[in-house]
């Protein structure tokens, strides 16, 4: 229920803001708006403004919206109102009205990020777990327990890192840009700036396979999360962990005589056990409330995306340490501007990589995945939900600015042609381009929905 409510609220807000941008710019430039609609299909609610004559409508299918303006191309216009018709306005005015929708989505993202930065949010401490064996982080010399202080793709202009989310963002940007990431850190969690010197290492991310911007990318880098104690959480009944006698709260110290430093190392030992067939029995040494004991555990073997992995059917890892990240008014606002710009560029880069084949089309997500993330972020807390809204709002804004007919960017492309040639795109060409744009959009939606279904079934 939470997932459905969070998804519907998110879509309604983002669509309303997008259409409000078109509406406000139309009103500001003297264009008469006939209808402002959120959703399509049967009308659920409606009200007509006595001052402007605009009909505000809420419809049954909240997966889109539109602003219908007075336009002689769609029907006869009273001569007394011809000056308020959309098609009589200059190219600059029409372009401003069309661009205002996507821009409103980007402005919303800035505001949402600002609220999160000003109010503060609880985030994971930027303390690194032990990197996966043979990963780029392991090859660079990271051992686990380092507290990240700063990161950047330019060695001379590092930026402070206040949370693991900040660090993961830098990893993502550097990986997709196929460049080096410079990392400054203290050697251990307890290290203090006053007494310990700052160390620096370089992660060479130029040769990474970035076709799949998912968990596999961070596995190749070496980290999937921050430092977490190798403590057992919930144990599923009937699973390998329950059958062996594991209990919630058990602290794993050794597996087959190998000392366990954190949960990431333990999870990898469990996962890699699936490469054996049959899986060998593992001896786990535990600390249970101060008492030491050993248990024999045989992970189960499962196929995930064609790869055999081991599972014990229990939560592995304690909740990571957290920090409260809060910024002042001006710093929070400038960071929100920077983050909106960076996410917009990253979105465009990913789309470009998918077009030229450097990124997989599996990175496209549809409504099912968006709904899933909406529910998960809302369950975590309001700040994560606002960040989710900001990300989707940026995606909506950037997508609509693409030069694809039927989208806002396609109309801006028409106006650019008109401003350069002095004449509008012909009706015949407009029809061809609109059909082509609709085909591209339907293809993208089909791929996204297919990816959603595959993810749900995997």
pLDDT tens digit string along 100-123? 999 999 999 999 999 999 998 888
Q: Give the residue from 205, 183, 186 showing the smallest Cα distance to 196.
A: 186
Query: What is the structure's pLDDT at 191?
Result: 46
Using left for φ > 0, alpha for ψ between -120 and 50, and beta otherwise, residue 192 falls in beta
User: 159-160 and 199-204: which strand pairing?
Assistant: unpaired
> What is the distance between the alpha carbons of residues 161 and 149, in angstroms, rounded to a whole number?
5
pLDDT for the residue numbered 75: 74
The C-alpha atoms of residue 348 and residue 221 are separated, in whole angstroms, by: 23
What is the distance between the alpha carbons of residues 226 and 125, in angstroms, rounded to a whole number?
7
Hey, where are the domains in the chain?
136-221, 232-318, 328-385
Q: Quick one: 438 exposed, middle or buried, by C-beta within 10 A (0-12, 13-18, 19+)?
A: middle
What is the per-residue pLDDT for 457?
57
3-state SS, the chain, equals CHHHHHHHHHHHHHHHHHHHHHHHHHHHCCCCEEEEEEEEEEEEEEEECCCCCCEEEEEEEEEEEEEEECCCCCCCCCHHHHHHCHHHCCHHHHHHHHHHHHHHHHHHHHHHHHHHHHHCEEEECCEECCCCCCCHHHHHCCCCCCEEEEEECCCCCCEECCCHHHHHHHHHHHHHHCCEEEEEEECCCCCCCCCCCCEEEEEECCCCCCCCCCHHHHHHHCCCCECCCCEEEEECCCCHHHHHCCCCCCEEEEECCEECCCHHHHHHHHHHHHHCCCCCCEEEEEEECCEEEEEEECCEEEEECCEEEEECCEEECCCCCEEEECCCHHHHHHHHHHHHHHHHHHHHHHHHHHHHCCCCHHHCCCHHHHHHHHHHHHHHCHHHHHHHHHHHHHHHHHHHHCCCCCCHHHHHHHHHHHHHHCCCCCHHHHHHHHHHHHHHHHHHHHHHHHHHHHHHHC
pLDDT of residue 105: 95
SS3 139: helix
Antiparallel, parallel or unpaired: β 314-316 and 232-235: antiparallel
Tokens representing residue 79 in the block:
């001569």
Query: Which of these is catalytic: 19, 146, 184, 268?
Result: 19
What confidence tens digit (pLDDT) does each residue in 207-221 have?
777 666 666 778 888
**Domain formed by 232-318, architecture:** Roll (2.30)
Q: Distance between CA 203 and CA 25 in Å, rounded?
A: 46
Which residue is it, tokens 């050697």? 187
Are 136-221 and 232-318 in the same CATH fold?
yes
Give pLDDT, residue 201: 92
Look at residue 103 and give its three-state secondary structure.
helix
Please spell the DSSP secondary structure of 387-404, one letter per residue: HHHHHHHHHHHHHHHSS-
Domain 136-221 CATH (choose: 1.10.3470, 2.40.50, 2.30.42, 2.60.40): 2.30.42
pLDDT along the chain (458 residues), means of 10: 76 91 93 89 86 87 84 79 86 94 95 94 89 88 90 90 91 87 81 64 82 72 88 90 91 91 89 84 91 91 80 89 91 94 86 68 61 63 86 90 87 89 82 79 72 60
Contacts of 425 (CB under 8 A, 6+ apart): 414, 417, 418, 433
Known active-site residue 165: no
Neighbours of 236 (CB within 10 A): 13
What was the pLDDT predicted at 193? 46
Whole-number Å distance between alpha carbons of 31 and 17: 19
Long-range CB pairs of 251-259 (<8 Å, 24+ gap) are: 251/286, 251/287, 251/288, 252/284, 252/285, 252/286, 253/285, 253/286, 253/287, 253/292, 254/283, 254/284, 254/285, 255/282, 255/283, 255/284, 255/285, 256/282, 256/283, 257/283
Cα 394 off chain centre by:
10
């Amino acid at each position: 229920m939470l997932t459905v409510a969070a998804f519907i609220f998110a879509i309604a807000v983002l669509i309303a803001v997008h259409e409000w941008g078109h509406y406000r710019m139309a009103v500001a430039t003297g264009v008469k708006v006939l209808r402002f609609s959120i959703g399509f299909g049967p009308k659920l609610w409606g009200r007509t403004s006595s001052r402007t004559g605009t009909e505000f409508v809420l419809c049954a299918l909240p997966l889109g919206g539109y602003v219908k303006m007075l336009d002689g191309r769609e029907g006869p216009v009273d001569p007394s109102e011809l000056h308020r018709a959309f098609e009589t306005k200059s190219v600059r005015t029409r372009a401003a009205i069309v661009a205002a929708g996507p821009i409103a989505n980007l402005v919303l993202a800035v505001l949402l990020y600002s609220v999160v930065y000003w109010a503060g949010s609880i985030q994971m401490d930027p303390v690194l777990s032990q990197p996966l064996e043979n990963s780029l982080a392991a090859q660079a010399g990271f051992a686990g327990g380092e507290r990240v202080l700063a990161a950047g793709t330019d060695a001379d202009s590092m930026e402070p890192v206040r949370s693991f989310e900040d660090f993961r963002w830098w990893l993502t940007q550097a990986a997709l840009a196929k460049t080096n990431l410079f990392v400054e850190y203290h050697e251990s969690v307890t290290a203090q700036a006053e007494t310990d010197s700052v160390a620096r290492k370089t992660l060479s991310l130029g040769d990474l396979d970035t076709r799949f911007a998912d968990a596999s990318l961070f596995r190749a880098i070496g980290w999937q999360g921050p430092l977490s104690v190798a403590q057992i959480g919930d144990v599923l009944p009937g699973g390998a962990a329950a059958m062996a006698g594991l209990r919630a709260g058990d602290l794993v110290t050794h597996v087959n005589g190998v000392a366990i430093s954190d949960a990431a190392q333990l999870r990898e030992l469990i996962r890699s056990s699936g490469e054996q067939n049959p899986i060998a029995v593992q001896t786990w040494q535990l600390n249970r409330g101060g008492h030491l004991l050993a248990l024999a555990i045989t992970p189960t073997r499962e196929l995930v995306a064609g790869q055999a992995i081991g599972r014990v059917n229990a939560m592995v890892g304690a909740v990571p340490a957290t920090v409260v990240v809060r910024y002042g008014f001006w710093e929070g606002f400038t960071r929100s501007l920077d983050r909106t710009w960076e996410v917009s560029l990253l979105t465009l880069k990913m789309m470009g990589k998918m077009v030229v084949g450097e990124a997989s089309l599996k990175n496209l997500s549809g409504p099912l995945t968006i709904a899933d993330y909406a529910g998960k972020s809302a369950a975590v807390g309001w700040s994560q939900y606002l960040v989710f809204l900001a990300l989707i709002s940026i995606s909506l804004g950037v997508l609509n600015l693409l030069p694809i007919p039927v989208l806002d960017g396609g109309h801006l492309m028409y106006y650019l042609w008109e401003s350069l040639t002095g004449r509008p795109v012909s009706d015949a060409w407009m029809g061809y381009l609109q059909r082509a744009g609709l085909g591209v959009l339907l293809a993208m939606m089909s791929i996204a929905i297919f990816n959603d279904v595959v993810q749900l079934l995997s």
